[in-house]
Structure 1
Amino acid sequence: MTAGLEKAFHRCLQRIASNAYFVMGLLAFLALPLTMTLVGAKSIDDCPIQPMIPLYLLIGGVVGSLKVSLLLYDIMHMRSLISKSVVIGDDDADEYPWRQNAHRYYVHVILSVFLFVWFVLANYWVFSVYTPNFIAPFHRPQEFCRKSLYVFAVFVLVLSHTVLVLLLCCGAWLRLCSRVSTRNDYGSDDNH
């Protein structure tokens, strides 16, 4: 990374780590993967028409809980490093404390890629049996899915789609703002 980009990244991390609302939001968000784990484990045999739905909830909940817990740990660790750090100079390795924990970056990337692939697969599993029988038919008792399980899985997917769209919109907006800001900072001045 260039020095300017790295300093901007450091300031951004510092703001996020020092924001108590962000930390409280992550703690609240932890409730979703924990609930997914509980529902998936409790209803592992309640959807014979698509047995991957409770498995999606169970594994997605466990990995999601791990991801959010690691994010919380990293933010708390970053808060303690930032409160103790003193910026000495541009060549000081301690100026950017996250450099010392680069392996955590790879763990986050692997967990994120897994969760994204799992999300794509879950869309197939859930929506391939869209509106299944919620009561087991007499002549085919294996072609049903418990209503509360299925509705919860659809809710989780719709919520995930919503968050993904919001993140993409925010990312596009930040990108646009940074381009406009860069043009204003380095653009031509008509007064000269």
Structure 2
Amino acid sequence: MDGAENPRTPLLSLVQESFLPKTVSIALKCILVAVNIASITIGVIYINDCPGQYLIPYYLIISGVGCLLYLSMTCLPCVDEDQATWVTLANLCSQGVMLLFLFAFFIAGNVWIYSLNHESWDDPSSLKQCNRVLYLYAFWTITLCHLCFLVLLCTYLCLLLGLYLLKRSIFGGRSN
């Protein structure tokens, strides 16, 4: 039974629809896969090269594996057509749990990465010394994540403002 025909799952079928063109979605996923493979590789190569904050390589490895696992969950098709709703619901629930884990781990990564101030991480005599490649990669990937979140938030707020102005122009200021 299709989710659009089942009156009990209209929200689930709406969530499944992609709002990006397929080529854009595939390109973004390929970029994310490459970045996460690079994170895992850099974390493994420099695993013992950051005594100032030894958790940074582990952050790169675990977040890279977690993001790859999440991306693979977003690509899984529903195999069983009779139980497609339940398979998809289980998939969405596991994606939600994975996103919660990645968000919590992202917060921890912020604390670990930004705890090394720029004056001390490159100094070999400092207690907060860390490999330059490892630290700069971790710093810029997490900073780019912040910038992406900011762009998404601004886009969402502009969309809400546009919808509000559209509603106001259509209904002429009347409240419904």
Normalised TM-score (structure 2):
0.77
C-alpha distance in 1 between matches for 2:55 and 2:28: 29
TM alignment of 1:7-26, pairs within 5 A: 10=13, 13-16=16-19, 19-26=22-29
Q: Which has the higher helix share?
A: 1
TM alignment of 1:1-192, pairs within 5 A: 6=10, 10=13, 13-16=16-19, 19-73=22-76, 77=77, 100-131=87-118, 132-137=120-125, 143-183=128-168, 187-188=171-172
8 Å contact 2:53–2:130 — kept in the other structure?
yes
Question: Per the alignment, in what secondary structure is the counterpart of residue 139 of structure 2?
Answer: helix
**Which residues of structure 1 form unaligned runs of 5+?**
86-92
Identity %: 21
CA-CA distance at 1:16 after TM superposition: 3.2
C-alpha distance in 2 between matches for 1:101 and 1:184: 39
Between stretches 50-59 and 169-178, larger displacement belongs to: 169-178
| CA shift in 2, pair 1:38/1:181, >3 Å | same
CA-CA distance at 1:180 after TM superposition: 3.8
C-alpha distance in 1 between matches for 2:89 and 2:47: 37
CA-CA distance at 1:24 after TM superposition: 2.0
Normalised TM-score (structure 1):
0.71
Cα RMSD after superposing both structures: 3.3
CA-CA distance at 1:158 after TM superposition: 0.8
- Deviation track 1:73-128 (CA, whole Å, cap 9, x = no partner) reads 3xxx37x99xxx9xxxxxxx99xx65651111111111111111111111111111
- Deviation track 1:125-150 (CA, whole Å, cap 9, x = no partner) reads 1111122342532xx7x642111100
**Which residues of structure 2 form unaligned runs of 5+?**
1-6
Question: Which 4+ stretches in 1 moved above 4 angstroms?
Answer: 9-13, 97-100, 181-185
